[in-house]
Amino acid sequence: MTSDETREVDATVRAVLVDVLGLDAGRVAGFDEATPLFGAIPELDSMAVAGLLTEIEERLGILIDDDEVEAEMLESFGGLLAFARRKALN
């Protein structure tokens, strides 16, 4: 995985958070790997998870199987980003 590919996935995941959840772009730009997501951001509730993952699939050209979706990947921005990188870059 090249640094350009890594940056592209990072930018895509951030854009999806802004577009799907309606979060402020400046706020999302400040997210680091430890930033908590599910349970900490009211906009990311159980109903929003499906839309978030569907949009990540579409923008990254990946397929996320139901059995791959685990709570840990949504606990933090780093968890979501690591999952997206694994799917998109492998």
The secondary structure of 16-42 as a DSSP string is HHHHHH---HHHHHT--TT-B-TTTST
Give the number of residues written for the chain. Answer: 90
Residue 2 confidence class, pLDDT cut points 50, 70, 90: confident
Residue 80 confidence class, pLDDT cut points 50, 70, 90: very high
Helix axes of 46-60 and 3-21: crossing angle, nearest 10 degrees: 140
Both tokens assigned to 12:
């895509």
The enclosing domain of 74 has a CATH number of 1.10.1200.10
Q: pLDDT digit string (tens) for 54-75?
A: 999 999 999 999 999 999 999 9
Q: pLDDT digit string (tens) for 21-54?
A: 999 999 999 999 999 999 999 999 999 999 999 9
Domain extent, residue 30, equals 3-89
The Cα 63–Cα 3 span in angstroms is 22
Q: What is the pTM of this model?
A: 0.93
Number of domains in the chain: 1
